[in-house]
């Protein structure tokens, strides 16, 4: 996806080339064509513009699109900030997750096991000789 402003500039250059060839298109048609060229992620905004009863000129439409683009970028930046803070929370809880190379006996947050201790046997070394 290209930047919206870059797409608008390309569209504007195309219109200038058409004018140089003495091809005039109605302003409402030009604005509608630009509206349809917006990316699919802008479908809700396109529908909102289509349902307005007043027809916009190309200059007005460009202003509206640039304002909407700026607003979307600010919202995305704010959303990214909240994801970053959530990532810190998850990272701080990493000790509760199983990690490769993580041994249970090394874990200071280990749950206690209520199983009885395993029996142990003590062996001693000594002489097997008996004195008679």
Position 55 scores a pLDDT of 80
Say if pTM beats, i.e. exceeds, 0.85: no
| 9 pLDDT higher than 60 | yes
Q: What residues contact residue 30 under an 8 Å CB cut-off, 6+ apart?
A: 15, 58
| 3 pLDDT higher than 80 | yes
Distance from C-alpha of 127 to C-alpha of 119, rounded to nearest angstrom: 26
* pLDDT 10s digits, 20-52: 999 988 888 888 888 888 888 888 888 888 887
* pLDDT 10s digits, 56-104: 888 888 898 999 999 888 888 888 777 666 655 555 444 555 566 666 6
Distance from C-alpha of 46 to C-alpha of 61, rounded to nearest angstrom: 11
Q: How many CB atoms lie within 10 A of CB 2?
A: 10
> Which helix or strand (DSSP H or E) is residue 82 part of?
helix 58-92
């Amino acid at each position: 996806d290209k930047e919206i402003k870059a797409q608008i500039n390309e569209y504007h250059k195309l219109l200038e080339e058409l004018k140089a060839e003495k091809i005039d298109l109605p302003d409402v048609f030009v604005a509608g064509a630009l509206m349809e060229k917006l990316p699919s992620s802008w479908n809700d905004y396109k529908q909102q513009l289509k349902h307005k009863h007043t027809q916009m000129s190309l200059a007005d439409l460009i202003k509206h699109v640039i304002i909407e683009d700026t607003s979307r970028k600010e919202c995305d930046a704010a959303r990214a900030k909240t994801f970053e803070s959530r990532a810190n929370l998850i990272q701080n809880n990493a000790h509760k997750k199983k990690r490769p190379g993580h041994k249970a006996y090394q874990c200071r947050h280990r749950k206690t096991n209520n199983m009885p201790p395993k029996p142990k046997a003590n062996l001693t070394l000594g002489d097997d000789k008996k004195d008679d």
